[in-house]
Structures are given as C-alpha cells and as structure tokens.
Chains A and B, each alone.
Chain A
C-alpha cells in the first residue's frame, strides 16, 4: 500500500475554527511523513465538503484519508461513505475529534491548536497501518417479537403485522390490553379505552 495520505481539517463554521487555528493545523499536517495533501473547509460534512474529499482522492490519487472534525460517533459513517464514493476502501480512513474533545473543551488557542496537530499526527500514523476491510452480511429472520401487550405493544404489533411480517406478542397477564383496559374514558376526546 502506497503512503498517500490526504488530511481534511474542518472549521465546523466557527465551532472549531474559533479555538483551533485550522490553517496552521493543516499546514503542519501537510509536512507529516506520508501526507501529500492537506486542506481546510468550512463544513466538511456538507455536500461540497464531501465533494472536496471525493475529488482530492481522485486528483491526488490518495490511498488514505484523515478527516479532522467532530466526533466519529457523529460523522464517521458520513465520511466513510464519501471515501468509498471517492474510490478507495472506506476503512482506509480515520477520523480525528477536534470539536467535542478539543475546541469545545479548551479555550487556549495555542494549546488547542497544538493538541489538534498532535491528534492528527496520531491518526495519520494509524491510517498508514490500516488495511482495506470488507463488510460481510448476515441473514435476517423476518419475524418480530413484541414484549408487552398494552397500548404500545398492540399498536407496534398491528403495524408490523399490517406490513406483512409475522409478529409474536408476549404478554405477562392472561389478557392483552395492559393498563388501558382498567381506564374509563380517555382525554381529550372522552372516547372509551377498550
């Protein structure tokens, strides 16, 4: 695997850029071994942002991608898809969290910028060891179980059953209906509960 890493640093509007000097971070990233392309953009997760990633992969012949933006718990899948659309394996990608775990919790611009650069160095070093991975598939048993036969359980069971799938409705008591059956008329329409 060739070492051709692209680093994409997101401003997240001002969420990141107001604390982290993203230009400086990208410049530092560009000098890391293996990195051949580094840039910033205002909203990397937006359509033009993702397009930037896709284009760079093709134009710069990138083999690995690092995106520094928000938490991977937020947008890892977004960028994995963008990377795949760019033509390389989605797992040749690492994400750096410089928002939730940097710009939102630190105020010192110098320290936060240094931290962002460190975290990107860490991800670049990791991504150079990444290998393409393939998702496998598992079968799905198209039958649902609903646990609890009150209003919620009955409604869910009916909707799933109406869509054509078999449903098992398990109820602890000897009758379905739940608390609803104990109620008299219900607000605001005053229609009967059963």
Chain B
C-alpha cells in the first residue's frame, strides 16, 4: 500500500506521553533543539498506565490519523 502525499494534507498525530519518561524525553529533544514534524500533538499523562484503549478509539473516531502511545 502506498500513500501519495498531497500538498495540503496534514496528518493529525495524537501522542500520549508519560510525564516521567516520554514527555521528559520530548522536553529533552527540545533542549537539544532536535527537529521533528510539527503535526505531532502531545497529550501528557501521569504514566503510560493511565492510558486507556478507549482514548485510541475516541481519537480515530474523531478523525485522528495516527495515535502513538509512549511510556
């Protein structure tokens, strides 16, 4: 399967990041000025354990193109 990139299309990527590791790592990426695509939107969770599969379904249901859970 191939996806052609259309000029105006921007994916909606929802990230759930644990406050203590992934969220801190994203902060560290910032401190080091490492660049990554701007379509990423991070939601902070207190721990990846707080994450509920319900949120993935909800995100896709409402039009997200990708969900990343990191912890």
Q: Do chains A and B touch in the complex (CB under 8 A)?
A: yes
Interface residues of A (CB under 8 A from B): 71-74, 97, 99-102, 104-108, 111-112, 114-115, 118-119, 122
Give the CA-CA distance A100 to B29 in the complex, in Å. Answer: 7
Indicate whether B27 reaches chain A with its CB closer than 8 angstroms: yes
Give the CA-CA distance A100 to B26 in the complex, in Å. Answer: 7
Give the CA-CA distance A112 to B43 in the complex, in Å. Answer: 16
A71-B30, A97-B42, A118-B41 known; A105+B35 contact, CB < 8 A:
yes
- The answer on a CB contact under 8 Å between B41 and A100 is no
- Given contacts A105-B33, A106-B36, 6 further A-B pairs with CB under 8 A are A73-B24, A73-B27, A100-B26, A101-B42, A104-B31, A105-B30
In the bound complex, residues from chain B placing their C-beta under 8 Å from that of A74 are 27
Closest to B15 in A: A101
- The answer on a CB contact under 8 Å between A105 and B34 is yes
- The answer on a CB contact under 8 Å between A101 and B26 is yes
- The answer on a CB contact under 8 Å between B27 and A71 is yes
Which of A99, A108, A112, A118 contacts B30 (CB under 8 A)?
A: A99
- The answer on a CB contact under 8 Å between A105 and B43 is no
- The answer on a CB contact under 8 Å between A115 and B41 is yes
Give the CA-CA distance A106 to B10 in the complex, in Å. Answer: 15
Give the CA-CA distance A22 to B39 in the complex, in Å. Answer: 18
- How many Å from the CB of A112 to the closest CB on chain B? 6
- The answer on a CB contact under 8 Å between B30 and A119 is no
Q: Which of A104, A107, A111, A115 has the most CB of B within 10 A?
A: A104
Which of B30, B33, B39 contacts A101 (CB under 8 A)?
A: B30
In the bound complex, residues from chain B placing their C-beta under 8 Å from that of A122 are 41, 43
Which of B23, B29, B33, B38 contacts A108 (CB under 8 A)?
A: B38
Which of A100, A106, A108, A114 contacts B27 (CB under 8 A)?
A: A100
